[in-house]
A and B are shown apart, each in its own frame.
Chain A
Amino acid sequence: MNRQSNTYTIIYSTVLVIVVGVVLSVVYQALRPRQIENIQNDTKRQILAAVRIVPQKGESVSQLFDKYITGSYIVNDKGQKIDPKEDAFNVKVSLEVKKPADERLLPVFECQTDNGLKYIIPVYGAGLWGPIWGYVAFDNNGDTIYGAYFAHQGETPGLGAEIEKPAFSDQFEGKNIFSPDGVFTSVAVSKVGKEPQGQAWVHAVSGGTITSQGVQSMLFDSLEPYSAFFKSLKGSAL
């Protein structure tokens, strides 16, 4: 057969594409369950990092998660538990933050640590180059931060990317997100020498100004809808 003819070329490319397509879909189907498991384990690792539980060598993340995370549910902006079909673990926070506050599904993870019951809240926002996200753990007074974990997709190494280091996230421990008279203030991320009055603050990453501002607005925007929920915790703790 003439290898240069149009018919040959078309048949050749059709067969090639079909063969490649079949091979790729078989590979995809075969590996999919493992990939989903990996992604879930990675999320579980991040949630546990907010309460400073890090799997040691040989420990499985999902076992630790099942051991420490004693409950998870979804609340609305009035602090009431709602009963949607979805599991709190599967709520896509990146999509929820785009909705108006009263339509958002707000996931809460309860974690029984050695230091008492903690509430872990996912946060999501924008850095300089791409999304940033994290998990913030609160004491059962719904006010004091117990621990925080931040991650990013592509912030500048050595500058904005420092938000994922404990040197930055450990600063949040013990900060209150409500002012003494009960107004939601979140936590400011401020430059040295420009610390705000009347609210909790941490120091920004030097050289990572935009990313640090991103963390500040991420915390404010993601935590504010939980205000009612936090206040209900505070009420029950008293």
Chain B
Amino acid sequence: MNINKNLLPLINPLSKDNPVIVQVLGICSALAVTAKLEPAVVMTISVTAVLALANVIISLLRNTIPTSIRIIVQLVVVAALVVIVDQVLKAYTYDVSKALSVFIGLIITNCIIMGRLEAFAMSNRPWPAFLDGIGNGLGYGIILIIVAFFRELLGSGTLFGFQVVPQWCYEHGYQNNGMMILPPMALITVACIIWVHRSHNKDLQE
């Protein structure tokens, strides 16, 4: 395949270098916000926005940041962006903000973000850093949305809150699997995704 080399930071994290299933980062929030699709989608958008903006800002500042306090500077930038996202959600999508509650604040500690700032943005120009942020945010989001899809479908019989398992299934004895709602099933779902992904990408197998 002949992919434009400049787009690699955008494309790699989607599969070959996925932050969740290959680098195994950001697992905490993957468990927490994936019981329903809607918060998973909002979390994806929020993390992507924060990561892309933080990458650009850090990349612009990278030649001025004193080495001794670079982690602190990164944290301040990330924390400021997360607070802004949180305030915007509270003002415009109050219900979603209530459902996500503390997890928006916890974006600050999402290892994907600090990892990308330190590993990529500190040594690259703003445009590739921006693509890297979008790519990693989406790579994280894809997994979140896949997990949330199965957990909401099997656990509540709904998707985005709409009933999709028809009523006659329940009348014939079908039951929602309440265990899918509980956090451990998110880990098992992530593990299943890793299993399928590895079996398609032999070079990732150890």
Contacts and interface: CB of A to CB of B under 8 A. Distances in A.
A41 B92 CA distance: 13
Interface string A180-217: 00000000000000000000000000000000000000
Interface stretch (B76-84, B118-126, B184-192, B197-205): B76-84
Contacts of B91: 31, 34-35, 38
- Please report whether the interface of chain B is mostly helix, strand, loop or mixed according to DSSP: helix
Contact of A23 (B80, B90, B94, B182): B80
B88 interface: yes
B154 interface: no
B68 interface: yes
Given A24-B83, A27-B84, A9 B92 contact: no
A131 B189 CA distance: 32
A34 to B, nearest CB: 4
Interface stretch (A13-21, A94-102, A139-147, A168-176): A13-21
Interface of A: 3-4, 8-9, 12-13, 16-17, 20, 23-24, 27-28, 31, 34-35, 38-39, 41-42, 157-158
Given A12-B69, A31-B91, 6 more contacts: A9-B68, A13-B73, A27-B88, A31-B87, A42-B98, A158-B178
24 contacts: A3-B67, A4-B67, A4-B68, A9-B68, A9-B69, A12-B64, A12-B65, A12-B73, A13-B69, A16-B73, A20-B76, A23-B84, A24-B80, A24-B84, A27-B87, A28-B87, A31-B90, A34-B91, A35-B91, A35-B94, A38-B94, A157-B181, A157-B182, A158-B181
Interface string B147-180: 0000000000000000000000000000000100
A9 B64 CA distance: 10
Contact of B94 (A4, A12, A42, A157): A42
A9 B80 CA distance: 20
Interface in B82-126: 83-84, 87-88, 90-92, 94, 98
A34 B67 contact: no
B196 interface: no
